[in-house]
């Protein structure tokens, strides 16, 4: 098979331009996701609101994010990556600016919703980029790299956000600057991102893979585009392939966000009496753990265990044990060193969830992978939204009082119990095995022979 070497080289280089720009957009997805936990006290002081309002503010992002997951998948398949990510990154910029100039809690809430809608349309387009611009055996690993970058954003929303707010003397100025930068990033997406290699007149990744292996590339059969209704039917009717893992993700990510994205900071303030600078730094180790855990999980899945489910089971088991420690020892552990270690491990093994996207993706055809992934992505953020609202009510106190250790322990116990149930769902989920993968065809002097054949 002949292939233009210059064009092949162009694809293998330019895919990093596409990835880096969209990964930078994803950096801000995580920044905004966990920022409420760091500036919660500032917002309460600025607008005179209580814990229930902060719970609502935290959940507003997740309700908006959840509502946009199906549209995200559908638009990624129909509009394409460039248009989807570009338009909605611009909307997130508007939300950040509104938060930065808000004169009331209602304006902050509206800004938070706009941010949630905007950043919701980044992850699925990036996953589509990984499916189109990268090789199949790079998908889980690159997903891990993407989540590591996202968690650098979460890390920046911990200690650095608190430092910037203190430096400028106003947390809102930080959001105003974020809005301006996000607007510039949207322009970069429109100018530099390409939906697929063919848009530059270059060969596709499957063609390049076949060339590198000395195999004959056989283009997939051209099939009629699957209507949205049928794509959704195929996704939601796929039974044990889709539902157990989706339920697991609902509880897993919801519990993570309850701690990292909302109540972790207030716990250290109310129960242990730590100042914002101290607990923001300690909480940042959750993101640091994920920065390492996500790519390692992807590598283990792609290269070592060659299994998605085994990696998920191992990570979830340790994550549950850590929840047990956080719940049972709340108020007893007072060492910053101990919580630093707990948070690092919490993020490291919690970050193993990234492999679940590969497990889901492999069950569906490329023509509906955006829709299927978007449908799957509803569940973690619905979990975050519901649990933030629920725990906000559990943590409500009378004016001037602080939440008690018993209130926090009740929330931690709920998360622990939910994760035990989630683990059972994970155990019955189905992984696509090697027997479901079609063998490639290798061109030899004897003709076309399936790779691995004894002919």
Give the pair of three-digit tokens for residue 368: 């509906």
* More reliable by pLDDT, 3 or 270: 270
Q: What is the pLDDT of residue 447?
A: 33
Q: What is the pLDDT of residue 426?
A: 96
Q: What is the pLDDT of residue 329?
A: 96
Whether 32 contacts 115, CB under 8 Å: yes
Q: What is the pLDDT of residue 183?
A: 94
Whether 175 contacts 99, CB under 8 Å: yes
H-run or E-run covering 81: helix 81-101
Q: What is the pLDDT of residue 452?
A: 35
Whether 279 contacts 268, CB under 8 Å: yes
**In 269-333, beta strands by DSSP E:** none
Q: What is the pLDDT of residue 220?
A: 67
Q: What is the pLDDT of residue 400?
A: 65
Owner of token pair 């989920």: 429
Q: What is the pLDDT of residue 398?
A: 66
Read off the pLDDT band of 446 (50, 70, 90).
Answer: very low
Read off the pLDDT band of 451 (50, 70, 90).
Answer: very low
Per-residue pLDDT, averaged over 337-342, amounts to 96
Give the distance between the most distant pair of CA atoms in the chain: 83
* Cβ within 8 Å of residue 211, ≥6 positions away: 1, 3, 8, 203, 217
Q: For residue 454, give the 3-state DSSP assignment.
A: coil
Q: What pLDDT, in 10s, does the model give residues 114-140?
A: 999 999 999 888 888 888 888 877 877
Read off the pLDDT band of 224 (50, 70, 90).
Answer: low
- Does 375 have pLDDT greater than 80? yes
Q: What pLDDT, in 10s, does the model give residues 71-96?
A: 887 888 788 899 999 999 999 999 99
Per-residue pLDDT, averaged over 199-208, amounts to 85
Q: Distance between CA 44 and CA 179 in Å, rounded? A: 22
DSSP state for residue 443 in the 8-state scheme: E
- Does 19 have pLDDT greater than 70? yes
* More reliable by pLDDT, 209 or 350: 350
Per-residue pLDDT, averaged over 45-49, amounts to 86
Per-residue pLDDT, averaged over 151-163, amounts to 77
* More reliable by pLDDT, 131 or 223: 131
* More reliable by pLDDT, 65 or 214: 65
Per-residue pLDDT, averaged over 173-189, amounts to 92
Closest CA to 274 of 336, 350, 364, 354: 336
- Does 441 have pLDDT greater than 80? no
Q: What is the pLDDT of residue 27?
A: 92
Read off the pLDDT band of 399 (50, 70, 90).
Answer: low
- Does 222 have pLDDT greater than 70? no
Owner of token pair 């933030």: 388
- Does 438 have pLDDT greater than 50? no
- Other CB atoms within a 10 A radius of the CB of residue 353 amount to 24
Q: What is the pLDDT of residue 69?
A: 82
Per-residue pLDDT, averaged over 246-250, amounts to 96
Instruction: Give the domain 5-196+233-433 fold.
Output: Growth Hormone; Chain: A; (1.20.1250)
Top mean-pLDDT range of 61-65, 196-200, 292-296, 315-319: 315-319
């Amino acid at each position: 098979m002949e292939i233009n070497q210059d064009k092949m080289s162009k694809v293998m280089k330019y895919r990093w331009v596409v990835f880096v720009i969209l990964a930078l957009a994803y950096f801000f997805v995580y920044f905004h996701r966990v920022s409420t936990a760091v500036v919660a006290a500032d917002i309460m002081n600025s607008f005179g609101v209580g814990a229930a309002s902060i719970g609502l503010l935290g959940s507003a992002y997740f309700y908006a994010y959840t509502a946009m997951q199906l549209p995200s998948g559908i638009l990624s398949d129909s509009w394409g990556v460039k248009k989807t990510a570009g338009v909605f990154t611009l909307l997130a910029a508007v939300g950040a600016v509104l938060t930065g100039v808000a004169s009331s809690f209602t304006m902050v809430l509206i800004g938070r919703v706009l941010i949630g809608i905007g950043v919701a349309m980044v992850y699925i387009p990036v996953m589509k980029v990984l499916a189109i611009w990268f090789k199949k055996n790079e998908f889980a690993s690159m997903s891990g790299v993407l989540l590591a970058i996202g968690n650098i954003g979460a890390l920046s929303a911990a200690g650095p956000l608190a430092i910037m707010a203190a430096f400028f003397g106003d947390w809102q100025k930080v959001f105003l600057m974020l809005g301006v930068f996000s607007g510039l990033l949207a322009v970069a997406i429109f100018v530099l991102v390409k939906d697929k290699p063919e848009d530059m007149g270059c060969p596709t990744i499957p063609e390049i893979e076949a060339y590198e292996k000395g195999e004959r590339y056989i283009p997939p059969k051209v099939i009629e585009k699957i209507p949205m209704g049928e794509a959704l039917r195929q996704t939601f009717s796929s039974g044990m392939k889709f539902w157990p893992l989706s339920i697991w993700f609902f509880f897993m990510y919801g519990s993570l966000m309850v701690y990292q994205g909302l109540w972790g900071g207030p716990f250290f303030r109310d129960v242990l009496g730590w100042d914002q600078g101290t607990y923001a730094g300690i909480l940042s180790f959750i993101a640091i753990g994920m920065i390492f855990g996500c790519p390692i999980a992807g590598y283990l899945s792609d290269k070592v265990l060659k299994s998605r489910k085994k990696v998920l089971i191992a990570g979830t088991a340790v994550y549950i044990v850590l929840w047990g420690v956080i719940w049972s020892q709340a108020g007893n552990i007072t060492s910053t060193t101990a919580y630093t270690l707990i948070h690092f491990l919490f993020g490291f093994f919690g970050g193993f969830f990234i492999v679940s996207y590969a497990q889901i993706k492999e069950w569906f055809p490329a023509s509906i992978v955006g829709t299927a992934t978007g449908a799957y992505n509803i569940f973690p953020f619905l979990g975050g939204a519901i649990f933030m609202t629920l725990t906000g009510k559990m943590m409500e106190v009378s004016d001037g009082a602080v939440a008690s250790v018993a209130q926090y322990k009740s929330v931690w116990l709920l998360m622990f119990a939910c994760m035990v149930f989630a683990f059972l769902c994970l155990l019955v989920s189905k992984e696509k095995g090697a027997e479901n993968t079609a063998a490639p065809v290798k061109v030899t002097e004897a003709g076309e022979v399936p790779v691995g054949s004894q002919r």
